Amino acid sequence: MNIIIFGTGGHAKVVLDAARAAQHNICGVVDDRWSLPIWRDVPHLGNRLNLPDIVGKYLNAAWIVAIGDAGIRREVVTQLEKLGVVFAVVIHPTAVLGTGVQVGSGSIVMAGTILQADVHVGRHAIINTASTVDHDCQISDYVHLSPGVHLAGNVCVEEAAHLGIGACSIPGVRIGRYSTVGAGAVVIEDIPSDVVAVGCPAKIIKRKEKNDAN
């Protein structure tokens, strides 16, 4: 598959490696912050100002938005949707996917991850390096599971929630939309929306204002 990557940050570096490992052809990258003609031996095609021209030139390419921040990722996705692009799914070949797993468009499944039977991953989500998601979990749109996150079965992670590196959960809990679970936290009860929870067990330390949410 021909792919254009939006982004040139650290997350984009890992997405580039995963896409190449999965034998995708990288047509180029788009980013507002990069000005040189080449990024990591990939052509820099331009920025958001000339997106219509880029989309028109690469009609046979699918896009992946390689931005870790869910709010910015959503902004870029919305702009690309208005231009009618198709979004890719990037799954590293070392990832293990059980029976019945579904991964939505624009989502990324990194190296060493395990998605067990009947896991559902929504659109534009990030399942980062060596995370494990057990049976029947529901991972909603724009969720970010950081490296080494471990979810037991039947966990629901709602839209744009972010679990920090090494966070884990017991079975059956729900993590609310736009909430952040800190690195190494252990979730043993439901986490509501729009909060920050840290610790073992995870406890709420902050309620997010609307402009703090992803």
Q: pLDDT tens, 55-79? A: 999 999 999 999 999 999 999 999 9
How far from 32 is each of 6, 36, 78, CA to CA, in Å? 9, 11, 16
Cβ atoms of 197 and 187 within 8 Å: the answer is yes
Residues recorded for the chain: 214
Q: Is 44 helix (H, G, I), strand (E, B) or coil?
A: strand
- The ranges of the chain annotated as CATH 3.40.50.20 are 2-88
pLDDT tens string 85-128: 999 999 999 999 999 999 999 999 999 999 999 999 999 999 99
Choose the catalytic residue: 92, 124, 135, 144: 135
Which of 83, 76, 8 lies closest to 53, judged by CA? 83
Those residues whose C-beta lies under 8 Å from the C-beta of residue 69, and which sit 6 or more positions away, are 214
**In which region does residue 40 sit, left (phi positive, over 0), alpha (psi from -120 to 50) or beta (all else)?**
left
pTM of the entire structure?
A: 0.94
Report pLDDT for 212: 55
pLDDT tens string 126-177: 999 999 999 999 999 999 999 999 999 999 999 999 999 999 999 999 999 9
Q: Does the pLDDT value for residue 208 go beyond 90? A: no
Catalytic residue check, 120: no
Report pLDDT for 210: 62
The kind and range of the H/E element at 151 are strand 150-151
Which of 83, 178, 20 lies closest to 12, judged by CA? 20
The kind and range of the H/E element at 20 are helix 10-21
Report pLDDT for 35: 87
Q: Which CATH superfamily is domain 91-202 in?
A: Hexapeptide repeat proteins (2.160.10.10)
Q: CATH number of the domain at 2-88, please?
A: 3.40.50.20
- The ranges of the chain annotated as CATH 2.160.10.10 are 91-202
Mean pLDDT of 36-55: 94
Q: Does the pLDDT value for residue 190 go beyond 70? A: yes
CA triple 71-73-37, angle to 5 deg: 135
Residue with tokens 């490296």: 147
Report pLDDT for 6: 97
Q: Does the pLDDT value for residue 201 go beyond 90? A: yes
Tell me the one-letter amino acid at 16.
L
Report pLDDT for 117: 98
Mean pLDDT value across the chain: 96
